[in-house]
Structure formats: C-alpha cells, structure tokens
C-alpha cells in the first residue's frame, strides 16, 4: 500500500512539474495519439482514442477521437460520442465562426458501450477532409454539435475552453499526420 501511495505521489509531482499542471495531468491519464500499422495491408495509421471534448460541468459529456491513414491521406475519421444510449445522427463544428457541417457518416450504425462501472456511452464514426479537421484542430473556440434523434447537444473545446481534455490531443495527432504524409 505504501508503494502505491509513493508511486501516486511521484506521479503527481511529475505531473505538476511540467508547464501547466492540468495539461500535463491530462496527458498522463488519457491516451495520446499513436502510430500503428494496418495488419491487412501495411498502411500507416495515426490514431487518437476518444477523450472528453467538453469544457465543463455545465455541458453535455461528449467524447472525440480521430484517426488518419496513408490509404486515405486527405480524410480524417472522427469518432464522436455522448453519455447515454441514443442514436447519433450527425456531427458539426463551429470553429472560430466557421461552420463545418458537411461531415459524412462513416459507420452504418451507432455503437453502444455498456459499462459496469459507469454510464453507457454511444459512439458514431464520421469522415471529414483533412483541411476541415485542421481548421477545427487549430481553432481557438470550437463548438461541437452532436445530433441525437430529434435534438442535439453542444460542447466546447479549444484554447478558449481550457478544461476540455481533447485540447491537449490535437497537436500530437496533427504533427504525426503531417510528418507521415498528410498534406493540404
């Protein structure tokens, strides 16, 4: 037990030593983008697992993840989700006033993940151009609209909304994509 306490204390100190405790701690406790090889055809994939995409308690709990492949270098696949078991039908972004609403469905159905330790989550996969994705990734204030059934909910991220965990995930992902071969 003492060993676990010591490890957690060291982890906390290491996290606080970086520039910006919140940013550093988010990187420790949430996955970062990773580079993978497709087992089928050897294509290179850059993948960021879904993380919280909301700025605070007053917003719906949305998640956002993304992946890119050398097979489709001008496309980013975005996985958007919301707490609860509901059909997700659409995704749109308002990035610093630029509306990006031409985001296509890339999965036939909404996926539902049931958890024994927390609420269920619904996910849907979409595709958007790399150019539009970079607008979202580089924007200061982003509003993400997730359409569910006959309604929608909105969450916020970007530097103007510093509490959204997804903020710390864009740079690592886009740097890897642009280094490997994504271009606009």
Chain mean position to CA 108: 20
Structure confidence at residue 136 (pLDDT): 98
Q: Are residues 124 and 143 in the same domain?
A: yes
Q: Are residues 119 and 89 in the same domain?
A: yes
Residues of the domain holding 12: 1-30
Tell me how far apart the alpha carbons of residues 116 and 99 are, in angstroms, rounded to a whole number.
37
Tell me how far apart the alpha carbons of residues 2 and 121 are, in angstroms, rounded to a whole number.
35
* Counted domains in the chain: 2
pTM value surpassing 0.95: no
Q: Are residues 49 and 11 in the same domain?
A: no
Q: Are residues 69 and 150 in the same domain?
A: yes
Q: Are residues 70 and 150 in the same domain?
A: yes
Q: Are residues 98 and 15 in the same domain?
A: no
Q: Are residues 23 and 81 in the same domain?
A: no
Mean local confidence (pLDDT), 73-78? 97
Structure confidence at residue 116 (pLDDT): 66
Q: Are residues 17 and 83 in the same domain?
A: no
Q: Are residues 57 and 119 in the same domain?
A: yes
Q: Which letter does DSSP use for residue 169 in this model?
A: G
Q: Are residues 54 and 127 in the same domain?
A: yes
For residue range 97-154, list pLDDT tens digits in order. Answer: 999 998 999 999 999 887 666 778 999 999 999 999 999 999 999 999 999 988 999 9
């Amino acid at each position: 037990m003492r060993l676990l306490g010591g490890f957690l204390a060291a982890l906390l100190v290491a996290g606080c030593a970086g520039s910006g405790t919140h940013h550093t701690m988010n990187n420790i406790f949430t996955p970062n983008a990773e580079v993978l090889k497709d087992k089928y055809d050897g294509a290179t994939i850059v993948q960021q697992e879904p993380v919280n995409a909301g700025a605070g308690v007053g917003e719906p709990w949305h998640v956002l993840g993304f992946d890119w492949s050398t097979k489709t270098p001008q496309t980013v696949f975005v996985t958007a989700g919301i707490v609860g078991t509901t059909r997700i039908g659409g995704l749109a972004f308002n990035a610093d006033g630029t509306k990006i609403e031409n985001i296509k469905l890339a999965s036939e159905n909404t996926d539902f993940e049931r958890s024994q330790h927390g609420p269920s989550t619904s996910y849907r996969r979409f595709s958007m151009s790399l150019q539009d994705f970079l607008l979202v990734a580089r924007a200061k204030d982003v509003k993400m609209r997730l359409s569910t059934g006959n309604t929608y909910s909105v969450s916020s991220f970007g530097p103007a909304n510093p509490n959204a965990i997804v903020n710390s995930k864009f740079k690592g992902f886009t740097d890897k994509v642009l280094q490997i071969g994504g271009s606009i």
